[in-house]
């Protein structure tokens, strides 16, 4: 029992110190490790397998909408990065610079891509000639580098994994349609696959992407009440096209600028999974994204027939879900603690008495609920149970999120809410950036988004300055 205790005691409780709990979970669930390059992390097998599942599912959904994958170089010449004014201002302060190739200094230094708008524009400039070449709906899976000062595993690291889609269209309408389409694709993915409810909305000008005309976002709420921007989709209008000279001849043979979009999600989503679903026993993974959905754990495994029967059961379950058998020489209690720490959705316990009675004990990771299931029924019961867990986890996260949304009509109420009610705060805004700046400076809350599906006018005046209000904003402290 000493060992089990050690494993479990090693996690700080969420209530005690949420940040430390998070750090404990990423380490103890063996999702990542720190590397000898400060701010860069190692994705260990358990962490990378989650990313692979995310990739496979998203990639499938992308391709259904006509996305084609490509791969661009990881380096951007300094002159290319500087082609679009807002963009370079946004990114130049936080890029890593390559100055030497082999023994020789480079003629022009290269930055390691922080994002690849400029590379795609440079490519599209030659690739697109006629309206027949449009639309271009390209995506790449890669890593990007941003030289951040403060880093946290999955949430903010100097190198992270992501996908970045970059499209070019004939018309402004088509570009806008694609921008919204991809945002909705992200939202549906987060809700269906990761069981993370999100608020869909538009960023204010202050918070939008460097060089974008408009940025749409999906915002999720973590267990501690902080928001996490979980995916963004940008409409560039023809701004980049004008800066790079990306033109096509239309059907009347007239030269037109293309309209562009870009959109991305990253390994941050793994951070969201941890902070939305995790508990004091560790990670809790929704079945759809869990690399292992079920762990068979034999009890009294040295008794005759137990291991054979457990292996047979695992073999049968392997046909209906991603099942594994823990046949190591650790104690059952230790194995339970490990399975819980790793967030595996279901545990199946099987001992001599269970075998004699032709059943097994099934334990849900998300609720701890134990049930006895006949060995004749496992192939039908387990998949249903996985579906139920997926659905319940979403509903629980949604209930938590909804119970952490409060309204503020006046500035004092707003400040009070920020300090005492962690979560989203709905409040009206005049549209002036000064108010956003003031709120951020004085309370630490930022404007998360102007929601698409919640246009309620909760007051006539701006919560900050009292002038006529234009927009409802979801505010919150954020990662």
Binding footprint of its own copies on the chain (CB under 8 A): 33, 35-37, 40-45, 48-49, 51-52, 68-77, 80, 93-103, 110, 112, 119, 122-123, 126-127, 138, 142-143, 145, 147, 158-159, 161
Shorter beta-carbon distance to its own copies: residue 9 or 93: 93
The least distance separating its own copies from the CB of residue 98, rounded to whole angstroms, comes to 5
d(CA 188, CA 429): 28
Shorter beta-carbon distance to its own copies: residue 143 or 249: 143
Residue 295 pairs in a beta bridge with 324, 347
Q: Which residues contact 77 (CB under 8 A, 6 or more apart)?
A: 108, 110
Shorter beta-carbon distance to its own copies: residue 29 or 472: 29
Shorter beta-carbon distance to its own copies: residue 42 or 415: 42
Shorter beta-carbon distance to its own copies: residue 100 or 302: 100
d(CA 32, CA 12): 18
The least distance separating its own copies from the CB of residue 35, rounded to whole angstroms, comes to 5
Among 286, 285, 282, 307, which Cα is nearest to 297's? 307
d(CA 194, CA 269): 9
The least distance separating its own copies from the CB of residue 151, rounded to whole angstroms, comes to 12
The least distance separating its own copies from the CB of residue 267, rounded to whole angstroms, comes to 9
Among 329, 323, 292, which Cα is nearest to 307's? 329
**CB 381, CB 364: distance < 8 Å:** no
Shorter beta-carbon distance to its own copies: residue 34 or 452: 34
The least distance separating its own copies from the CB of residue 78, rounded to whole angstroms, comes to 11
Which pairs count as long-range contacts for 212-217, CB under 8 Å and 24+ apart, including other chains? Answer: 212/236, 212/239, 213/237, 213/239, 214/179, 216/179, 216/180, 216/183, 217/183, 217/448, 217/449
Shorter beta-carbon distance to its own copies: residue 69 or 419: 69
DSSP class of 206: G
Query: What is the residue whose two structure tokens read 């390691």?
Result: 112
**CB 462, CB 471: distance < 8 Å:** no
The least distance separating its own copies from the CB of residue 72, rounded to whole angstroms, comes to 6
Q: At what angle do helices 172-192 and 45-64 cross, to 10 degrees?
A: 140
Shorter beta-carbon distance to its own copies: residue 150 or 441: 150
The least distance separating its own copies from the CB of residue 195, rounded to whole angstroms, comes to 24
Burial degree of 36 (CB within 10 A; 0-12, 13-18, 19+): exposed
d(CA 356, CA 246): 73
Shorter beta-carbon distance to its own copies: residue 45 or 468: 45
**CB 218, CB 227: distance < 8 Å:** no
The least distance separating its own copies from the CB of residue 153, rounded to whole angstroms, comes to 13
Helices (H), 361-476: 378-402, 411-420, 433-443
DSSP class of 82: T
Shorter beta-carbon distance to its own copies: residue 145 or 430: 145
The least distance separating its own copies from the CB of residue 126, rounded to whole angstroms, comes to 8
The least distance separating its own copies from the CB of residue 94, rounded to whole angstroms, comes to 5
């Amino acid at each position: 029992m000493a060992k089990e205790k050690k494993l479990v005691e090693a996690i700080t409780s969420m209530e005690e110190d949420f940040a430390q709990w998070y750090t404990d979970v990423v380490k103890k669930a063996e999702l990542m490790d720190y590397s000898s390059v400060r701010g860069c992390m190692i994705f260990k097998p358990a962490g990378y397998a989650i990313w692979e599942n995310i990739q496979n599912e998203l990639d499938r959904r992308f391709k259904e909408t006509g996305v084609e994958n490509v791969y661009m170089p990881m380096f951007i010449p300094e002159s290319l990065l500087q082609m679009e004014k807002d963009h370079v201002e946004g990114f130049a302060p936080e890029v890593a610079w390559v100055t030497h190739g082999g023994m020789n200094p480079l003629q022009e230094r290269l930055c390691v891509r922080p994002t690849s708008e400029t590379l795609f524009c440079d490519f599209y400039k030659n690739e697109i000639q006629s309206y027949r070449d449009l639309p271009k709906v390209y995506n790449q899976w890669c890593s990007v580098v941003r030289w951040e000062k403060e880093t946290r595993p999955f949430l903010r690291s100097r190198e992270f994994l992501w996908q970045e889609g970059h499209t070019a269209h004939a018309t402004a309408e088509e570009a806008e349609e694609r921008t919204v389409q991809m945002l909705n694709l992200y939202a549906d993915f987060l809700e269906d696959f990761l069981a993370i409810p999100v608020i869909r909305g538009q960023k204010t000008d202050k918070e939008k992407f460097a060089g974008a005309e408009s940025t749409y976002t999906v915002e999720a709420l973590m267990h501690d009440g902080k928001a996490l921007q979980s995916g963004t989709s940008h409409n560039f209008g023809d701004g980049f096209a004008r800066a790079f000279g990306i033109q096509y001849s239309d059907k009347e043979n007239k030269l037109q600028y293309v309209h562009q979009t870009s959109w991305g999600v990253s390994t941050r989503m793994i951070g969201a999974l941890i902070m939305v679903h995790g508990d004091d026993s560790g990670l809790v993974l929704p079945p759809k994204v869990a690399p292992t959905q079920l762990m068979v754990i034999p009890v009294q495994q040295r008794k005759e027939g137990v291991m054979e029967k457990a292996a047979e059961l695992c073999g049968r379950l392997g046909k209906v879900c991603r099942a594994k058998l823990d046949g190591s020489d650790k104690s059952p209690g230790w194995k339970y603690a490990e399975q819980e720490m790793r967030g595996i959705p279901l545990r199946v316990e099987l001992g001599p008495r269970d075998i004699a009675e032709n059943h097994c004990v099934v334990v849900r990771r998300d609720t701890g609920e134990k049930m006895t299931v006949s060995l004749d029924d496992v192939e039908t019961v387990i998949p249903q149970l996985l579906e139920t867990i997926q659905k319940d986890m979403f509903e629980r996260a949604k209930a938590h999120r909804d119970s952490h949304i409060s309204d503020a009509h006046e500035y004092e109420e707003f400040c009070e809410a920020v300090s005492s009610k962690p979560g989203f705060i709905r409040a009206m805004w005049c549209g002036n950036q000064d108010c956003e700046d003031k709120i951020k400076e004085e309370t630490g809350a930022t404007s998360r988004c102007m929601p698409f599906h919640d246009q309620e006018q909760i007051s006539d005046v701006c919560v900050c300055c009292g002038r006529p209000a234009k927009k409802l904003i979801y505010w919150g402290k954020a990662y």
